[in-house]
Amino acid sequence: MDARTSRYRSVYDRWQRDPEGFWGEAAQAIDWYEQPKKIFDRSAGVYGRWFADGVCNTCYNAIDRHVAQGRGAQPALIYDSPVTNTKRRITYAELLDEVKSYAAILRDFGVQKGDRVIIYMPMVPEALYAMYACARIGAVHSVVFGGFAAKELATRIDDAKPKLMITASCGIEPGRTVAYKPLLDEAIKLASHKPEFVLLLQRPQLEAAMIAGRDHDLAQLRAAALRDGKSAECVPLAATDPLYILYTSGTTGIPKGVVRDNGGHMVALRWSMENLYGVAPGETYWAASDIGWVVGHSYIVYAPLFHGCTSILYEGKPVGTPDAGAFWRVIADHGVAALFTAPTAFRAIKKEDPQGKLLAGYDLSKFRTLFLAGERADPDTIQWAENILKVPVLDHWWQTETGWCIAGNPVGLGQLPVKYGSACVPMPGYDVQVLDEAHKPVGPGKMGAIVVKLPLPPACLPTLWQQDERFKESYLAEFPGYYKTADAGFIDEEGYLFIMSRTDDIINVAGHRLSTGGMEEVLASHPDVAECAVVGIKDELKGEVPCGFIVLKAGVKRQPAEIEKEIVGLVREKIGPVAAFKLAITVNRLPKTRSGKILRGTMKKIADHDAWSMPATIDDPAILDEIAAALKTRGLGG
């Protein structure tokens, strides 16, 4: 752990001196049909494009290449599902056969290069087969997390306009089977765009009813494809062709369709496996996330396979499936070298097993590093994990938009000293700066808006799906020449980054990114609500949880408690259980500035017991006392 022995500084300097040379070299680790001659084309796309004249295929690099090079018998995926009592190893050769037939099935339904396919599935291997099959034939997948409700799915259907959707009959949450099919049917009903076909995986835990003509049984299709020897080969694609669209919360209820390309994505992710995560081909890598999130896309589905690793697909939770020793069991059973998860998972384990007693008896000898991301890693949790696991615990910072780490501790290049509360240092490709309101760099240790100088490195979003203008407006307009991360924080004297908060209305609930603006839209839609405000308040387990304040319309005679219950149900119905919206509080008035802006920040500080000062522009200071009193009735605030 010595900054002097790490190669980080020299590698970062090398990138800064010659970014194109750096990424051109990194691109050699990928198999191309046509090698890119132009590494970065400034004239293409919104801010330029990487490897614009390269021709490649993501599925080929994830699967076929390894079979061709003798890795066929190695597990590519290990499906470990405590909720169904299943463990299955899928070798690279078996995976290739599955994906070839899935790709042939898609092709038989008329799916072609550029067509969109929405995948709404739990954590089962078939979801990954579907993703790789899309990549194989150049279709653009869009995976929607299972915890979202029908309306959220409908919004994504209308934006992506899929030709076909792939789903499963159910997901399995501890103590509850979630029927996916009725949600999907409802979403298609709500959407204006109607996908032609639905392919459905029937799970024995809860079978779904099929709609004749539109719905098709995936297992039957697979059996027929295998019987008939159907297979589809990889389609050569431009490096800049889209691989997938992943929707993420924006500042309104309309999610942003983050686009990922093929070439840059492979180059950066492959680089990260060796240099950031420090794992070697053949080793087992585990991202304990969900394929519905970017961490799942990048580090369950794609990067480990680009690098010839074995990736774990875990259908379970850190606690309750069956206990807080589940992670240690998986690490030991499969010889995991590196685990990547969100701090909230470790807070959940710490809460149930503070002494780490459940570690006893598990062989963690192959386990070298724990990586955390998705939300700020609190020093307590990091130290607790270090103490019980005796391995480095490394925070790193990234976003759905970037697809890989912006700042982290690159163990592959030689680990740097850990500073608690810091996400560590920028990765090559990212010139990270902290600017003030006048767009001037602030000095070391001073808080400001965190931005990245353009161009963004390979794998980062080139644009939003069919919305170049929204992309420019959301990310590039405020700080010309820079990408706005919408995070605030500071850089210390030694170049370490500290990510402190968002500058917009996004909150992070158990590592899941949600928009409070989107929730306010739902609250406001209740017929008895005159106005509302949603803020993220501190939560010991989930980091943050949403708290909604509502003002009822004049003349409403119903009991506030009854309306609050309906509001909680409404958010679950419209956004989904993932929002974890359980707190609705009726107040007489909301605190505002004289110009009518709701003082959400001050309300949050009161709820969080943080120091706060009376905003100079407040209209009526007494309202803050009313908010504090209302919070107190729920045991919140100070």
Decide: is 499 part of the binding site for ligand AMP (CB under 6 A). yes
* Dihedral angle sign, alpha carbons of residues 134, 195, 208, 186: positive
Decide: is 513 part of the binding site for ligand AMP (CB under 6 A). yes
On whether the CB atoms of residues 404 and 26 are closer than 8 A, the answer is no
Between strands 176-179 and 497-502, the pairing is unpaired
Pick one of 248, 321, 344, 409: the residue that binds ligand AMP (CB under 6 A). 248
Pick one of 167, 369, 400, 516: the residue that binds ligand AMP (CB under 6 A). 400
* Dihedral angle sign, alpha carbons of residues 192, 468, 522, 166: positive
Decide: is 375 part of the binding site for ligand AMP (CB under 6 A). yes
Decide: is 259 part of the binding site for ligand AMP (CB under 6 A). no
Q: How far is residue 290's CA from residue 300's CA, in Å, rounded to a whole number?
A: 8
Q: Find which of ligand COA, ligand AMP, none residue 586 binds, CB within 5 to 8 Å per kind.
A: none
Nearer to ligand COA, 318 or 637 (CB): 318
Burial 383-410 (b: 16+ CB within 10 A, else e): ebbeebbeebbbbbbbbbbbbbbbbbbb
Pick one of 38, 502, 572, 589: the residue that binds ligand AMP (CB under 6 A). 502
Pick one of 256, 260, 376, 604: the residue that binds ligand AMP (CB under 6 A). 376
Give min distance, CB of 77 to ligand AMP, in A: 23
On whether the CB atoms of residues 147 and 320 are closer than 8 A, the answer is no
Q: How far is residue 431's CA from residue 440's CA, in Å, rounded to a whole number?
A: 15
Pick one of 247, 286, 397, 581: the residue that binds ligand AMP (CB under 6 A). 397
Return the axis-axis angle of helices 379-389 and 343-352, rounded to nearest 10°: 70
Q: Give the closest residue to 277 by CA, choosing from 298, 259, 246, 294.
A: 298
On whether the CB atoms of residues 349 and 324 are closer than 8 A, the answer is yes
Around 299, how many Cα atoms within 13 Å sit in the side-chain half-sphere?
A: 30
CB atoms within 10 A of CB 360: 8
CA dihedral 341, 344, 349, 350 (to 10 degrees): 120
Decide: is 395 part of the binding site for ligand AMP (CB under 6 A). yes
Q: How far is residue 55's CA from residue 34's CA, in Å, rounded to a whole number?
A: 5
Q: Is 589 exposed, middle or buried (0-12, 13-18, 19+ CB in 10 A)?
A: middle
On whether the CB atoms of residues 453 and 482 are closer than 8 A, the answer is yes
Q: Find which of ligand AMP, ligand COA, none residue 396 binds, CB within 5 to 8 Å per kind.
A: ligand AMP
Nearer to ligand COA, 135 or 510 (CB): 510
On whether the CB atoms of residues 90 and 126 are closer than 8 A, the answer is no
Nearer to ligand COA, 36 or 374 (CB): 374
DSSP, collapsed to helix, strand or coil, labels residue 603 as helix
Return the axis-axis angle of helices 560-574 and 150-160, rounded to nearest 10°: 40
Q: How far is residue 56's CA from residue 37's CA, in Å, rounded to a whole number?
A: 13
Q: Find which of ligand COA, ligand AMP, none residue 147 binds, CB within 5 to 8 Å per kind.
A: ligand COA
Around 14, how many Cα atoms within 13 Å sit in the side-chain half-sphere?
A: 11
Give min distance, CB of 175 to ligand COA, in A: 9
Q: Find which of ligand AMP, ligand COA, none residue 513 binds, CB within 5 to 8 Å per kind.
A: ligand AMP
Give min distance, CB of 372 to ligand COA, in A: 9
- Token pair recorded at residue 554: 């004049």
Binders in 406-425 for ligand AMP, by CB under 6 A: 423
Which of 278-282's residues contact partners 24+ apart within 8 Å by CB, and which partners? Answer: 278/338, 278/368, 278/369, 278/410, 278/411, 278/412, 279/304, 279/307, 279/309, 279/337, 279/338, 279/412, 280/309, 281/71, 281/307, 281/308, 281/309, 282/71, 282/74, 282/308, 282/309, 282/310
Q: Find which of ligand AMP, ligand COA, none residue 381 binds, CB within 5 to 8 Å per kind.
A: none
Stretch near ligand AMP under the rule CB under 6 A, chosen from 45-53, 150-158, 202-210, 368-376: 368-376
Q: Find which of ligand COA, ligand AMP, none residue 499 binds, CB within 5 to 8 Å per kind.
A: ligand AMP
Nearer to ligand AMP, 75 or 518 (CB): 518
Decide: is 399 part of the binding site for ligand AMP (CB under 6 A). yes
Nearer to ligand COA, 292 or 495 (CB): 292
Q: Summarize as ranges the residues that interact with ligand COA (CB under 6 A).
A: 122, 146-147, 171, 173, 178, 289-290, 293, 295, 317-319, 341-342, 344-345, 348, 374, 510-512, 577-578, 580
Q: Find which of ligand AMP, ligand COA, none residue 171 binds, CB within 5 to 8 Å per kind.
A: ligand COA
Stretch near ligand AMP under the rule CB under 6 A, chosen from 118-126, 208-216, 374-382, 607-615: 374-382
Decide: is 260 part of the binding site for ligand AMP (CB under 6 A). no
Q: Find which of ligand AMP, ligand COA, none residue 312 binds, CB within 5 to 8 Å per kind.
A: none
Give min distance, CB of 607 to ligand AMP, in A: 19
Count interface residues toward ligand AMP (CB under 6 A).
20
Give min distance, CB of 171 to ligand COA, in A: 4
Stretch near ligand AMP under the rule CB under 6 A, chosen from 262-270, 323-331, 355-363, 391-399: 391-399
Residues at the contact surface with ligand AMP, assessed by CB under 6 A: 248, 294, 373-377, 395-400, 423, 485, 487, 499, 502, 508, 513
